[in-house]
Structure 1
Amino acid sequence: MRTLIKAQSAALAVLAFASVTVQAAETLSVVTFGGAYEAAAKKAYFEPFTQATGIGFSTESYDGGLAKLSAMEQAKNTTWDLIDLETNDAITACDEGLLQKFDKKTLGKTSDFIPGTISDCAVASMVWSTVYAYDTSKLKTAPTTVNDFFDLQKFPGKRGLRKSPKVTMEWALIADGVDPKDVYKVLATPAGVDRAFKKLDTIKQNIVWWESGAQAPQLLADGAVVMTQAYNGRISDAAKKDNKPFKTVWDAQVYDFDWWAVPTGAKHADAAAKFIVSASQPKAYADLSKYIAYAPPRKDAIALVDKQRLADLPTAPENFKRALQINANFWADNADQINKRFQVWLTQ
């Protein structure tokens, strides 16, 4: 009897150890942009994947950039299994060997994807845009163009802007009369960069800078600004879920893709790659749009999106009239140089 009990105890101990080991191995460490987007991703992407596979997630938020990812690679101690990236960072990270190559064949029918939404190292998770928004209860006259954002006489008050030259420079040029289709041609010249900073000088004293996407709608809610640059999903989320009287101005929206990728050296790379395939299915993309106003990068997912929700998406025809796709290659090549000047400009 004692022998049997000892054997059973040993077996239970082994099973318990194996259970803990499996559980530890099947938790993906993922870094996202946090806030409303992460909450939506949990419902549309993470929870269904966990239900289907038993693989869990631990999440961490950041505001982009490759500094920490690069440091992990240099130290050969990668603690992230999955990373949410902006396009120019996805390009640079892939070029610098910070991301693992992704097998496109695992996605199935790749012709369903919007061109440019599958790369060697990453797959687009959604289409989002940078817009600006205002509080309808505080502005008697509604701003309608990006020019209005820079018009302090007609619309006095503080402006919220992300503490980054990206999109801010493009808007400055458009507000200064550059056609959206010519923005990057102008911005690629020293004179164009000078012109953008000169336009930004006109509102510099009225700018409140934000660094986290969640800060933008909060600045608006607190009355710290009369209008703010923001991610479209954050404004839609605040208006629909929190009943904030916010309205989006779509003129000169700068749209982009977010990307899922697996860092080089990720400890659970296979599970992370399986997650990307799962999150890239039409239903998953459509479900994300249900929880936050970001558009699917896969064409056959559009039919699964609620028709009322389509009007809130960056790709809706009415919202897309003067849209500008961010030139990720331009920013991948020029971000360091322009950002250095931007940092100096901030202190002047």
Structure 2
Amino acid sequence: MKKVLFLTSALASFGLAAAAQEITIVSWGGAYGASQVEAYHKPYMALTGVKINSVDADNPATPIKAQVEAGNVTIDVADVEPSDLVRLCDEGALEVLAIDELPPGADGTPAAEDFIEGGLYDCGVGTIVYSTLIAYRGDGPAPETTADFFDLEKIPGKRGLRKGAKYALELALMADGVPPAEVYDTLATPEGVDRAFAKLDTIKDQVIWWEAGAQPPQLLADGEVVMTTAYNGRIFNAMIAEGQPFELFWPNQILDFNLFVIPKGAPNKEAAWDFIKWATDTQRLADQASFISYGPARKSSAPLVGLFKDGKTEMGPHMPTNPEHMADALTTNIEFWADHDIELSERFNAWLAAN
């Protein structure tokens, strides 16, 4: 009887539909996807009886537009980056969400004030703050500055870089001496773009390009690269859970969000929205931080972040939002990438194809 009362109370508090259904959630796989399964999917299925089909993709935003245009949407919830969210929302490929229905923080703060700036959009609700940064092997040479990533004489060997203009161009400018606060003003000029590509030219023939988040830790583990850009949570998982001799270089980390969205015409829209409201409350976002070192998108979640799933590793020092890591961090400018992604991606692809 107590279990029934608990279930009824939990469902009512979030306005959740009790009828069992299925929803399909597309995310990024790897350690990040596993953290969502443990923190969100399994508890939600146990609570509601709704079956969650978890699907992995290199970029969950990629199939959304095609499915919407074809009128054959199979995705109910997708985990996407802000620049993709803004673009897809502007194109009408995402559902506009009733943000005012999100539960308040555990301390009573309205959701609109509880989420970190950049964590709420008309079409999306933030889950984590993560960073793209330099990772390296602890049993090899260590970078002392961001510029060392591009210094093949000081630290010889292959580098890993995410295949795309985003992150690569910002990193190149910071390595070339541009302060984080001036990166996007610089990149908004033709001269700044040329400067970024000139810096990338210096290591082009020594780069192994990666596309999926699971690749950088594997490249380091296999000794294919001496340094690589990577998502901080993927390297944390390899270090702590797998015992890999990796280290993170926090200066000039590039901060970004991941957010839940619902594609336009999702087959289970109401159930998808119920899931998002539940999964992005204070406790659930704090719970995910027990499985991977990404900062919760809600302010009220921070005090609830405790130990890693190993029961001994304090997660606070490993969070990209740790004050010690924030001094010279760069936060991704979503508006910039919404305006310039197409042109810079075309330039990047042309540069990549050139000898």
What SS does the corresponding residue of 1:29 show, helix, strand or coil? Answer: strand
Q: How does 1:192-203 map to 2 (within 5 A)?
A: 192-203=192-203
Asked if the contact 1:65–1:89 (Cα under 8 Å) also holds between the matched residues in 2, the reply is no
Matching residue of 1:342? 348
The structural deviation recorded for 1:66 is 4.1
Matching residue of 2:125? 123
Matching residue of 1:79? 74
What SS does the corresponding residue of 1:243 show, helix, strand or coil? Answer: coil
The structural deviation recorded for 1:115 is 2.1
What SS does the corresponding residue of 1:165 show, helix, strand or coil? Answer: coil
Q: Please give the alpha-carbon distance, in whole angstroms, between the structure 2 residues aligned to 1:67 and 1:137.
A: 37
Q: Which deviations, in whole Å up to 9, do the C-alpha atoms of 1:145-188 show, x marking residues without a partner? A: 21111111111100000101101000111111111100000101
For structure 2, the 5+ residue unaligned runs are: 1-16, 104-110, 308-313
Matching residue of 1:282? 282
Matching residue of 1:330? 336
What SS does the corresponding residue of 1:311 show, helix, strand or coil? Answer: helix
Matching residue of 1:317? 323
What SS does the corresponding residue of 1:137 show, helix, strand or coil? Answer: coil
Normalised to the residue count of structure 1, the TM-score between the two structures is: 0.91
Matching residue of 1:219? 219
Alignment partner for residue 51 of structure 1, among 46, 52, 63? 46
Asked if the contact 2:26–2:60 (Cα under 8 Å) also holds between the matched residues in 1, the reply is no
Q: Please give the alpha-carbon distance, in whole angstroms, between the structure 2 residues aligned to 1:121 and 1:213.
A: 24
Q: How does 1:65-104 map to 2 (within 5 A)?
A: 66-104=61-99
What SS does the corresponding residue of 1:98 show, helix, strand or coil? Answer: coil
Matching residue of 1:151? 151
Matching residue of 2:6? none
Q: Which amino acid aligns with 1:52?
A: L
Q: Please give the alpha-carbon distance, in whole angstroms, between the structure 1 residues aligned to 2:41 and 2:118.
A: 24
Q: Which amino acid aligns with 1:131?
A: L
Task: Tell me whether 186-195 or 57-66 shows the greater mean CA deviation.
Answer: 57-66
Asked if the contact 2:18–2:48 (Cα under 8 Å) also holds between the matched residues in 1, the reply is no
Matching residue of 1:13? none
Matching residue of 1:27? 22
Q: Which deviations, in whole Å up to 9, do the C-alpha atoms of 1:178-228 show, x marking residues without a partner? A: 111000001011111101000000011110001111001000000000011
RMSD: 1.6
What SS does the corresponding residue of 1:291 show, helix, strand or coil? Answer: coil
The structural deviation recorded for 1:104 is 1.1
The structural deviation recorded for 1:62 is 1.7
Asked if the contact 1:144–1:251 (Cα under 8 Å) also holds between the matched residues in 2, the reply is no
Which structure dedicates a bigger proportion of its chain to helix? 1
Matching residue of 2:292? 292
Matching residue of 1:137? 139
Asked if the contact 1:99–1:263 (Cα under 8 Å) also holds between the matched residues in 2, the reply is yes
Q: Please give the alpha-carbon distance, in whole angstroms, between the structure 2 residues aligned to 1:26 and 1:148.
A: 52
Structure 1 runs of 4+ off > 3 angstroms? Answer: 22-25
Q: How does 1:229-308 map to 2 (within 5 A)?
A: 229-306=229-306, 308=314
Q: Which amino acid aligns with 1:315?
A: T
Normalised to the residue count of structure 2, the TM-score between the two structures is: 0.89
Q: Please give the alpha-carbon distance, in whole angstroms, between the structure 2 residues aligned to 1:116 and 1:215.
A: 27
Matching residue of 2:210? 210
Asked if the contact 2:260–2:276 (Cα under 8 Å) also holds between the matched residues in 1, the reply is yes
Q: Please give the alpha-carbon distance, in whole angstroms, between the structure 1 residues aligned to 2:54 and 2:245.
A: 30
What SS does the corresponding residue of 1:100 show, helix, strand or coil? Answer: coil
Q: 1:321 to 1:203 in 2, by over 3 A?
A: same
Asked if the contact 1:79–1:267 (Cα under 8 Å) also holds between the matched residues in 2, the reply is yes
Q: Please give the alpha-carbon distance, in whole angstroms, between the structure 2 residues aligned to 1:159 and 1:243.
A: 22
What SS does the corresponding residue of 2:126 show, helix, strand or coil? Answer: strand
Task: Tell me whether 204-213 or 298-307 shows the greater mean CA deviation.
Answer: 298-307
What SS does the corresponding residue of 2:125 show, helix, strand or coil? Answer: strand
Q: Please give the alpha-carbon distance, in whole angstroms, between the structure 1 residues aligned to 2:201 and 2:271.
A: 48
Q: How many residues align structurally?
A: 325
Q: Which amino acid aligns with 1:102?
A: L
Structure number with larger C-alpha Rg: 1
Q: Which deviations, in whole Å up to 9, do the C-alpha atoms of 1:29-52 show, x marking residues without a partner? A: 111011110000001111111111
What SS does the corresponding residue of 1:247 show, helix, strand or coil? Answer: strand
